């Protein structure tokens, strides 16, 4: 299966009702074993730090949606209008909106805790710190990209080559400029120094990642034919007593 990592902002976006269908697909693919979702301690720390703000923003969004829904009642009459107002009444109360937002955030968090969790190492932190001290890209503009760079280094060191899938890792982030070389449109090579090469793809949309994840490598048929030939020769050698 293809391994997928989401940066913290993508996890936060998944709390929004507008992404609910995408959330269901993402959860289904993970639970069915079609993808492996990897999180690390940095992502979980950033999630926890942003949780109060996420709940507040989501509660405010629910409030605005309630106001919009309330306006629609003007187009209804009689019993239909009364039933409609009763249906949306639970979102009128602020405490109810906050509870709804907390429930949504907790649902995402519980799912995160079922994913593959890994820890960053002191050696990885020192490696990224050294890049930052020397202002080696992506640290050339004094922007705080430390966590982004550490997440990539940590996850990529954890991931192995994953035949026959097209990519070993798909990283979903809506802030690619924090770690992408504008000249090559690829993640800065220095972040992979000393690591085994993997087939890494960075995308900005989770939907795109989920569509790509099941794809097999381009030369899979050729690869499979070679494997079958090798197995046939091995069995033949066994029959010959070699």
| Token pair in block for residue 138 | 């992506």
Output the tens digit of pLDDT for each of the chain's 242 residues: 899 999 999 999 999 988 999 999 999 999 999 999 999 999 999 999 999 999 999 999 888 888 888 888 888 898 888 888 888 887 788 888 889 899 999 999 999 999 999 999 999 999 999 999 999 988 887 677 899 999 999 999 999 887 778 899 999 998 877 788 888 888 989 999 999 888 899 999 999 999 999 887 766 566 566 556 666 665 666 666 65
Q: Are 169 and 200 in contact (CB under 8 A)?
A: yes
Domain-by-domain residue ranges, the chain?
2-220
d(CA 158, CA 116): 11
d(CA 115, CA 220): 28
Quote the pLDDT of residue 4.
Answer: 97
Of 113, 110, 202, 109, which is closest to residue 155 (Cα–Cα)? 202
């Amino acid at each position: 299966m293809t391994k997928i990592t989401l940066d913290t902002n993508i996890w936060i976006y998944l709390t929004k009702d507008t992404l609910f269908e995408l959330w269901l697909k993402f959860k289904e693919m993970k639970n069915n074993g079609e993808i492996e979702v990897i999180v690390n301690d940095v992502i979980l720390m950033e999630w926890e730090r942003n949780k109060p703000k996420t709940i507040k923003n989501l509660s405010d969004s629910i409030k605005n949606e309630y106001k919009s829904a309330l306006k629609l009642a003007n187009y209804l009459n009689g019993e239909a209008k009364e039933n409609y107002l009763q249906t949306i009444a639970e979102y009128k109360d602020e405490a109810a909106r906050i509870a709804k937002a907390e429930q949504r955030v907790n649902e995402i968090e519980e799912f995160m805790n079922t994913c593959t969790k890994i820890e960053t190492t002191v050696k990885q932190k020192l490696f990224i710190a050294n890049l930052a001290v020397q202002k080696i890209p992506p640290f050339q503009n004094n922007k705080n990209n430390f966590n982004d760079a550490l997440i990539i280094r940590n996850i990529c060191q954890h991931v192995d080559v994953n035949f026959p899938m097209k990519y070993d890792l798909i990283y979903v982030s809506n802030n690619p400029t924090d770690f992408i070389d504008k000249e090559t449109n690829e993640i800065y090579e220095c972040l992979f120094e000393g690591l085994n090469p993997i087939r890494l793809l960075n995308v900005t949309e989770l939907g795109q990642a989920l569509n790509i994840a099941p794809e097999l490598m381009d030369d899979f048929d050729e690869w499979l034919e070679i494997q079958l030939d090798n197995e046939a020769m091995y069995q033949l050698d066994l029959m010959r007593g070699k």
